[in-house]
Amino acid sequence: MDLIPDPRRAWPAQPGAGAFPLDGETVIEAGPGTEGVARWFRTAVGAATGLPFADDAGVIGADDNRIVLGISPDIARELGPEGYRISVDAEAIRIEGGAAAGVFWGAQTVRQLLGPDAYRRAPLDSTREWAVPMTLIEDAPRFGWRGLMLDVARHFMPKDGVLRYLDLLAAHKLNVFHFHLTDDQGWRVEIKKHPRLTEVGSWRSRTKWGHRASELWEEKPHGGYYTQDDIREIVAYAAERHITVVPEIDIPGHSQAAIAAYPELGNTDVIDTTSLTVWDTWGITANVLAPTDNTLRFYEDVFEELLTLFPSTFIHIGGDECLKDQWKQSPTAQARIARLGLAGEDELQSWFIRHFDRWLAERGRRLIGWDEILEGGLAPGAAVSSWRGYAGGIAAAKAGHDVVMCPEQQVYLDHRQAAGDDEPMPIGYVRTLEDVYRFEPLPPELTEEEAAHVLGTQANVWTEVMHDSSRVDYQVFPRLAAFAEVAWSDLPAPAERDFADFEQRMAEHYRRLDALGVEYRPPGGPLPWQRRPAPDGDNASLGRPIEGAPPNV
């Protein structure tokens, strides 16, 4: 059936079974709680097929021409809330889930069974006959957190592009969208109490082209931001697709855009923060937030507004790559260290993080941050995004903290996909489709009890060298399909995984991606317009490739 992710169990409904035809008379019977799934099916699959999929209420004679959606307590017990069972026979297509989310993932599977043209926005042929093979499928995800992190701070992605990516996540049964909204190079969310964050902080005067070592610049302003209504729309669109949007506001590092907007947030006793602008290059800047009460109150204001926009239990606060040089030089920071009896700057960062852990917990939310928040002691309720490798996640899980595994050596999709010179702006280690398919989120060092703290896994996409949606597509796909199967399916050990079978199923999946308009990297390598300039060209050294196999750290 060429399904991706591969389901747990699938078999024909009966020997020699045929297919269930869909036509203009097919109705949807939506049980309580599944109305949103029915609405999505009519909108997405209805657009591709041209079929209305009317509500079954009041329809006479549709007993043998129905799509039946229902929530089943039995499936909830057997397969969990995101589990589902599909039964297609001569009378109906039945999709049952442990909760509405399970029904939705089952509907995504039915869409795959209809073929690649079910992913188009309008029917190619009004006379075409549509059918779903008579089959039984039982399925459930391995992990509850199956995410993609998208950095819109380095290169802004307009709202329509974000909505498109939510559809792409849903098509791959991914359920977390980690929204990296702020960094040194831009602030992307409207905060009404502090309007200069977007008035000043959302635009930079120019952009480094390629890696930070490049001498090339794009000499025009770059930026943009999402209004609060844009955010509400994005969150609602995601919720309809059973995707949680986890916002990230970086503190105390990666904050130069905020300091450029409000200089008092920086270490004014060390540098003239009024001279700072939104950063126009990549890397790690020394300009970090000052550990003052004013800074804490300012970001409490930010998070107060953020909590009204994002219902997510988890709020990401970054916490990574915070250079402490200015704190070492700052009398204000040193006085705070002395007053609090801290051992040094690492513990000062821990104090900063712990403040917001308590603040969020008091409001029923949970803090999550990159694994540097382990330095100086981890806040009791905090969770960790383990990005520098497995080590941070292992340490956190052993200490009883929840973890999302996203090691850069394995699932940073900004890393190059092949070693060839024509890979566009190559960054990092080579991570092929097969490499991602053999990624294992659970390290063997964890006991069963410790492994229970691994909430799941996430692929990360940093956009320094991705100046438009075509480049994002190229880096993300097709590897996101492999990652989605790793996150969802109960696969054997990495060396025992049947990559040949996955490749065979990908042949059909490429056609789905084509129908969706995804500009993925073709299996044979980049197309002419996707390639890096020739080695002797002016743009030959724009990337930062790292040779050899990535370390397993």
Q: Which residue is it, tokens 């107060």?
A: 304
Q: Is 274 exposed, middle or buried (0-12, 13-18, 19+ CB in 10 A)?
A: exposed
Catalytic status, residue 254: yes
Q: Indicate which residue of 2, 55, 320, 321 is catalytic.
A: 321
Give the SS3 label for residue 117. helix
Phi, psi of 42 (to 5 degrees): -60, -40
Catalytic status, residue 321: yes
67 forms beta bridges with 28, 93
- The encoded tokens of residue 188 equal 């992307």
Q: Indicate which residue of 254, 316, 401, 509 is catalytic.
A: 254
DSSP 8-state class, residue 550: P
Q: Are 287 and 326 in contact (CB under 8 A)?
A: yes
Please choose, from the candidates 431, 383, 425, 434, the residue with its C-alpha nearest in 3D space to the C-alpha of residue 408.
431
Contacts of residue 493, Cβ cutoff 8 Å, sequence gap at least 6: 440
Q: Are 220 and 206 in contact (CB under 8 A)?
A: yes
Phi, psi of 307 (to 5 degrees): -65, -25
Q: Indicate which residue of 139, 183, 230, 464 is catalytic.
A: 183
Where would I find the beta strands (DSSP E) of 371-443?
Answer: 383-386, 403-405, 427-428
Please choose, from the candidates 23, 27, 95, 24, the residue with its C-alpha nearest in 3D space to the C-alpha of residue 59.
27
- The encoded tokens of residue 317 equal 């606060």
- The encoded tokens of residue 123 equal 């029917």
Contacts of residue 254, Cβ cutoff 8 Å, sequence gap at least 6: 182, 183, 184, 284, 285, 318, 320, 321, 322
Catalytic status, residue 117: no
152/311 Cα distance (integer angstroms): 20
Helices (H), 330-427: 331-340, 345-361, 391-398, 408-411
Phi, psi of 521 (to 5 degrees): -75, 120
- List Cα–Cα distances, 462 to 87, 153, 257, in angstroms: 41, 9, 17
Where would I find the beta strands (DSSP E) of 262-338?
Answer: 314-318
Residues marked active site are found at 183, 254, 321
